């Protein structure tokens, strides 16, 4: 019975109905696309099948590089950081070394400690803290860091809107996945992830892994592992079946894995469709403090493919 209730779309629709302010961001896009949807309606990739994608957003590599070159922030970066950003269209990620200095990083760590001590946030599974930025103006300011958002907006082709934060105290050890199955957009690719190393990350405390170029593969969504469900029910497939599918795609396309050994203050920016995950956290006596931000492209339809829920956004 609990499983059936979890799959009932009407349950999510009722919840959505009482969050109108946070869900109105999709309504204008629905109308422009000719979709007959309310702000609280379920939404999935199936709804956009056959629609002509807007031409206002360019994913052309040269256009992205041109937009980066126009920003003052890009001009002020080191040559290595510039080259990494210029390779973003090809690789699906960019590494910005020492983007935040030691003082800024320590302030972030102290702010997280303070939020925990004052019970303003809580740990999930004794490791993960969700949406800490919503409990701290300082962390909101970090997420809306002007220079960072200038670069992200250039990569997305429109304004980058802060959507979510996750803090980790240990390595996530998450299996390889693409963010697009969790935080989805139409047009596809309207999301970026940013990972901030809050301490040095080595091979024994759970570094990130990623698959360069995997963002160019198709977007593997509900239909690709028979998880679309019905008009009234969500799909019944376990998330492990999605992860297995991704493993099979990696073998099929023979994509090589990279590992991000970070120094405190380094950033990793990744594309919505880049395959990535967490390596084993071998030394349990060590922490692996990090902060992740996710950003949507302004004007895109933003939703969650697996649960077919429109994304709640505080604009």
Taking the chain (315 residues) in runs of 10, the rounded mean pLDDT of each run is: 84 96 95 94 94 69 94 97 98 98 98 97 95 98 98 96 97 97 96 98 96 97 96 96 98 97 98 98 96 96 97 89
Counted residue by residue, the chain has a size of 315
pLDDT of residue 57: 62
pLDDT of residue 21: 96
Q: Which domains does the chain have, with CATH numbers?
A: 44-310 (2.60.120.620)
pLDDT of residue 256: 97
pLDDT of residue 315: 76
Please state the pTM of the whole predicted model.
0.96
């Amino acid at each position: 019975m609990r499983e059936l209730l979890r799959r009932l779309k009407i349950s999510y629709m009722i919840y959505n109905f009482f969050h109108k302010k946070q869900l109105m961001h999709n309504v204008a896009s629905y109308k422009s696309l000719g979709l007959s949807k309310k702000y609280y309606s379920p939404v999935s990739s199936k709804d956009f099948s056959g629609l002509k994608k807007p031409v206002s957003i360019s994913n052309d590599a040269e256009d992205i590089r041109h937009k980066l070159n126009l920003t003052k922030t890009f001009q002020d970066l080191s040559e290595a950081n510039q080259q990494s950003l210029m390779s973003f269209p090809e690789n699906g990620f960019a590494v910005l070394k020492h983007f935040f200095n030691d003082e800024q990083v320590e302030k972030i760590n102290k702010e997280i400690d303070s939020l925990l001590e004052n019970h303003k946030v809580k740990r999930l599974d004794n490791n993960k803290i969700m949406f800490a930025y919503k409990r701290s103006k300082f962390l909101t300011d970090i997420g809306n860091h002007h220079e960072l958002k200038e670069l992200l907006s250039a990569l997305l082709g429109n304004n980058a809107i802060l959507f979510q934060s996750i803090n980790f105290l240990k390595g996530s050890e998450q299996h390889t996945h693409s963010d697009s199955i969790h935080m989805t957009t139409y047009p596809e690719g309207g999301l970026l992830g940013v990972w901030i190393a809050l301490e040095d990350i080595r091979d024994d405390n759970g570094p990130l892994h990623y698959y360069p170029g995997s963002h160019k593969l198709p977007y593997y969504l509900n239909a690709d592992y028979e998880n679309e469900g019905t008009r009234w029910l969500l799909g019944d497939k376990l998330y492990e079946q999605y992860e297995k599918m991704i493993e099979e795609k990696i073998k099929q396309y023979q994509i090589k894995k990279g590992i991000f050994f970070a120094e405190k203050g380094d950033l990793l920016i990744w594309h919505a469709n880049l395959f990535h995950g967490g390596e084993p956290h071998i030394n349990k006596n060590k922490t692996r403090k990090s902060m992740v931000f996710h950003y949507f492209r302004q004007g895109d339809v933003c939703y969650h493919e697996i649960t077919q829920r429109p994304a709640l956004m505080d604009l």
